[in-house]
Chains A and B, each alone.
Chain A
Amino acid sequence: MNGTKRLEWREALRVFRERMGGLTDAKKSYLKSDRETRKAVREALRFGSKTIPELTQQLNLPGENVTWYVMALKRYGEIVEAGRAGDYFRYALKESER
């Protein structure tokens, strides 16, 4: 990206941010929760694989939210399946994410 272009998009981004109302409190709150939950899931898996019920119990979050974050991190390559425990899959951090 050349210098002129970089300045152009930075200025366009500033105007865009203003036009969209900036970072509202609702958006900040969503972002905080989103990032904290992802971090908590990663931390919980740092020392070994877990099922979603095990993660749910440890993180004290609604099961459907934990399922969603596990699947989201799996989709983006941070988490992998690590075998089965009865009716549940186990999930682990990808080696490179440890």
Chain B
Amino acid sequence: MADIKDRYDGLVIGGGIAGMQAALDLAGQGFHVLLVERQPSIGGIMVGLNKVFPTLDCSSCICTPRMAEVAHHERISLLTYTEVQKVEPLNPGFRVRLLKKPRYVVEADCIGCSLCELACDVYVRHEFDYRLGARRAIYIPHANAIPQVAVLDPEYCVFDGSCAKVCPKDCIDFAQLPEEHTVEAGTVIVTSGLQITPMNAKKEYGGDTYVNVMNPLAMERVQSSNGPYGHVLRPSDGKVPKSVAYVQCAGSRDASIGVPYCSRVCCMYALKQAIMIKHELHDTEITIYHMDIRAFGKGYEQFYRRAMAEGIRVVKAKVARISEVENRDLSLRVELIDEGGKVADIRHDLVVLSQGVIPGWHPGDVLPVPEARDGFFEVPELATKPARSPVEGIFLAGVATGPKDIPDAIVEAGAAAMEAAMYLGRTAVGQAAITGSGRRA
């Protein structure tokens, strides 16, 4: 971890793909940037995905080099495991209060050797694998984590010192406390990302009751070569599924759960996951139940047609409810739209709910940017200035302003960085940054 200075030209909130891109683009213009991430590693959701659509490129192979670039950039400082406590306008610039949570490991000394993890005798369900995989009470966040630094979870620590006994760098620090930092920043870019709708949002689908009803991000981990199983298996008994169903709009376009909008990525990730299952399990039948398929991006329509050509069944239907039957299989009561509304009960081994995208952060009065009615941050001039917030000097990118796919998030991050650079060019604090050290000469 770099030493934290008192002031930066720009501060980026969120170390997912949009935040990393914004930090790189702002630093690339000569500005000094502090990137703040609340998780122990940067990379956000993207580093946990299996593939990206429509190219089927390996997601972490794209994300990890960018994470390394951020970590090694001479003008980017990184604060992980850190919460933003308050962003106060100074006109111009901002004062930002930060709280760095204790890892109980000295970041500067840890070499990521995992000896502490292997010495710890407490097995815990790993959040990175959506609780399908395991970690220990002290652990490296995941294989591609940056920084590769262990973090101790006091909730499960048994206080036997086994980690400290084996650490070759003596960097376990049980005396660590939360650290407060206050920095000033000329501009702030918010890239606070997304969550998916809760598994219990639609009770009739049993997402919080039946173990073989999965969330789509858990399925990404299951499909990943470094995921919890190493194969596509179902959680209840490790069976190789012979029949998999995707239920579209399971958390979007549904005013009853407060998500009336389209989440924009669910059709494509369902098609992608279906193709990937088919590539691994040739005999497995995969059915996508949908209201309509929205394949609007570059190459997306062709991707949809490819999925059908590869044998994925795409069925226009409404799923009324899911019930668990013998062998922990799942019975879906569906109304088949293209068969005159016929109601059928169809059995599958495994079901993935294509849950909706909701905001990753509701900062309340921590950040002086209002939320729009949909819960994402308000963008007053969406058509012409999509990266500007209502507060001068604060810019927005990625899913912070609404659901979007990875290419759109990256484009928007670049736009936010450019807007932030122009803002710095117009303000006294920015002028000092530009002329003070001659960095941009």
Contacts and interface: CB of A to CB of B under 8 A. Distances in A.
Interface of A: 1, 5, 9-10, 12-13, 15-17, 20, 22-23, 27, 30-31, 34-35, 38, 51-53, 56, 63-64, 67-72, 74-76, 81, 87-89
B159 A89 contact: no
Interface in B121-177: 121-123, 125, 132-134, 154, 156-159, 161, 164-165, 167, 170, 172-175
B174 to A, nearest CB: 4
B304 to A, nearest CB: 29
B219 to A, nearest CB: 15
9 contacts: A9-B174, A16-B104, A16-B159, A16-B175, A17-B159, A20-B154, A63-B236, A69-B123, A87-B240
A15 B387 CA distance: 48
A61 B164 CA distance: 34
A64 B167 CA distance: 34
A56 B211 CA distance: 15
Contacts of A64: 211, 235-236
Nearest to B172: A9
Given A9-B172, A13-B174, A35-B121, A70 B238 contact: yes
Contact of B159 (A22, A63, A67): A22
A71 B133 contact: yes
B5 interface: no
B134 A71 contact: yes
B221 to A, nearest CB: 11
B288 to A, nearest CB: 22
A3 to B, nearest CB: 12
Interface of B: 104, 118, 121-123, 125, 132-134, 154, 156-159, 161, 164-165, 167, 170, 172-175, 211, 228-231, 233, 235-240, 242, 328
Secondary structure dominating the interface of A = helix
A34 B237 contact: no
Contact of A88 (B132, B159, B240): B240
Most buried by B among A13, A15, A31: A13
A72 B123 contact: yes
A75 B143 CA distance: 12
A1 B361 CA distance: 42
B199 to A, nearest CB: 14
A74 B123 CA distance: 12
Contacts of B173: 12
B156 A27 contact: yes
A17 B164 CA distance: 14
Contacts of B328: 63
A87 B329 CA distance: 14
Which 3 pairs, one residue from A and one from B, show the smallest C-beta to C-beta distance? Answer: A72-B134, A52-B238, A16-B174
Contact of A63 (B156, B161, B237): B237
Q: Name, among B123, B230, B328, the residue most crowded by chain A CB atoms within 10 Å (CB to CB).
A: B123
B170 A1 contact: yes
Given A9-B164, A27-B156, 6 more contacts: A16-B104, A67-B238, A71-B132, A71-B229, A72-B134, A75-B228
A87 B164 contact: no
Nearest to B239: A87
B152 to A, nearest CB: 9
A49 B163 CA distance: 32
B165 to A, nearest CB: 8
A75 B242 CA distance: 25
Contacts of A71: 132-134, 228-229
Given A9-B174, A22-B159, A68 B238 contact: no
Contacts of A75: 133-134, 228
Given A13-B164, A15-B175, A88 B133 contact: no
